[in-house]
Amino acid sequence: MNMHWMSLVLRYFTFSFKKSEKWIKSLPPVRGRLVENEPLHKKNWFGVGGSAQVYFEPADVADLAGLLYKLRELPPIPMSTLGAGSNVLIRDGGIPGITVHLGKPFSQVVVQDDILICGASAGAMEVAREALKNKITGFEFLCGIPGSVGGAVRMNAGAYGCQIFDMLKTLTIVTREGEIRVLSADEIKDSFSYRKCVLPQEWIFVNAVFQGKQVKDATVIREKMEANKQKREKGQPIGVRTAGSTFKNPEGTPAWQLIEKVGMRGAKRGGAEVSKKHCNFLINSGSATAKDIEMLGEEIRRKVYEKEGIELEWEVKKMGVDKL
Ligand SMILES: Cc1cc2nc3c(=O)[nH]c(=O)nc-3n(C[C@H](O)[C@H](O)[C@H](O)COP(=O)(O)OP(=O)(O)OC[C@H]3O[C@@H](n4cnc5c(N)ncnc54)[C@H](O)[C@@H]3O)c2cc1C
């Protein structure tokens, strides 16, 4: 189906879905926070986007699994998961259905010897800090990645030649039907590749256990983290509204080089800009809509394809629908 037809179908679906909001009234009671029309622009790094039709922050895993189990009795409702919002572009029409966000109850990091047991809403940087504190090496690359553990596993986040899947021992997920399962890294290894995880989109990751390596002296860990931090400060825009790298690096040439080559460094569309410092970063300069950012990204893709014959793939995940 081409883009035009896809967007028409999505619009039709949103319209008919909005009309039949009876399902919201039929949602079972929960112990966590379940609200309608929750604005999302403050919950993502671009600072754009509409509202979640229904927004759910479960009190714990049982609360989440319980709601999902009971949803089986209702007509299918779209479900999305939002982590720290550092790798998403939430469209201006918001997210139809239920958006699940794991909050504080899922933020614990427990260290046992060289193993870190992490709730999915714990920060990736927090994991790096805990590892340093406990003289565990292997997590230094996480120190500049602003996402949550759940989002990092879903994106197979990585940097400087490392990726999070390589540290994973087990992953606990809740299925669409409310079943809680613990999966070993070995049984899901084929689902992970460069910035990609093909485990079912509707699975919600609630906990990850990571295996590091204990060392006698934390100095090397600290030095690696400091070096990573300096590389970032030198090469990436800091303190701006961005979702990091917009496109995956195609084999052979880094995405930023292609973007530079087609003359898009510093290009603007509405309030959206291509960073001058790192041109694979798109920026909301203050007044951008999600549409501005998406259209600027599509312009880059078109130019790179026309001039270089390479199809750039979005690394940033687009969520929700356009404004009607
Ligand atoms: C300044 C900056 C620098 C960055 N640098 C890097 C980098 O070096 N390397 C890198 O890989 N990334 C980088 N990123 C991107 C981003 O930080 C990572 O992809 C991060 O792991 C995303 O986590 P999140 O919690 O923000 O996920 P979100 O952005 O909220 O979501 C991303 C995806 O994960 C899914 N998801 C979120 N939580 C869960 C969950 N609990 N269960 C299942 N699915 C879930 C969402 O549905 C969505 O599809 C950077 C971003 C910024 C803003």
pLDDT digits (tens, 9 = 90+) for 133-170: 999 999 999 999 999 999 999 999 999 999 999 999 99
Under 8 Å between Cβ of 115 and 209? yes
Residue 91 pLDDT > 90:
yes
The domain 237-319: what is its CATH number? 3.90.78.10
Which H or E run contains 260? helix 255-261
- Best residue among 88, 98, 155 to mutate for probing ligand 1's pocket (most ligand atoms within 8 Å of CB) is 155
Residue for token pair 């949602």: 27
* Three-state secondary structure call for residue 242: strand
Residue 225 dihedral angles phi and psi, to the nearest 5°? -65, -40
d(CA 30, CA 62): 10
Residues 6 or more apart in contact with residue 43 via CB below 8 angstroms = 82, 85, 101
Q: Is residue 1 over pLDDT 50?
A: no
Q: Where are the beta strands (DSSP E) in 40-108?
A: 51-57, 79-82, 88-90, 95-101
pLDDT of residue 5: 56
Residue 77 pLDDT more than 60? yes
Q: Residue 270 above 80 pLDDT? A: yes
User: Domain ranges in the chain?
Assistant: 3-104, 105-219, 237-319
For the segment 222-238, the average pLDDT, to the nearest whole number, is 95
Please state which CATH number belongs to domain 3-104: 3.30.43.10
Token pair of 35 as six digits = 């609200």
> Could you give the angle at which helices 219-235 and 124-133 cross, rounded to 10 degrees?
150
From 11, 129, 195, 265, the catalytic residue = 195
Grade residue 113 by pLDDT with cuts at 50, 70 and 90. Answer: very high
Mutate to test the pocket of ligand 1, among 41, 90, 91, 154 (most ligand atoms within 8 A of CB): 154
Closest ligand 1 atom to 195 CA = 11
Look up 313 and say whether it is catalytic: no
| Residue 120 beta carbon below 6 angstroms from any ligand 1 atom | yes
- CATH class of the 105-219 domain in this structure: alpha beta
102 CB less than 6 Å from ligand 1? yes
315 counts as catalytic: yes
Residue 106 CA: nearest ligand 1 atom is: 41
Active site residue 245: yes
Tell me, in angstroms, the distance from the centre of ligand 1 to residue 74's CA: 30
Task: Tell me what the mean pLDDT of segment 73-78 comes to.
Answer: 93
Rounded to an integer, the average pLDDT of 203-217 is 98
Q: Is 79 in the pocket of ligand 1 (CB under 6 A)?
A: no
Model pTM?
A: 0.94
**pLDDT reported for residue 324:** 86
Average pLDDT over residues 310-324: 97
Q: Do domains 3-104 and 237-319 have the same CATH topology?
A: no
pLDDT in tens, 291-304: 999 999 999 999 99
Q: Is 205 in the pocket of ligand 1 (CB under 6 A)?
A: yes
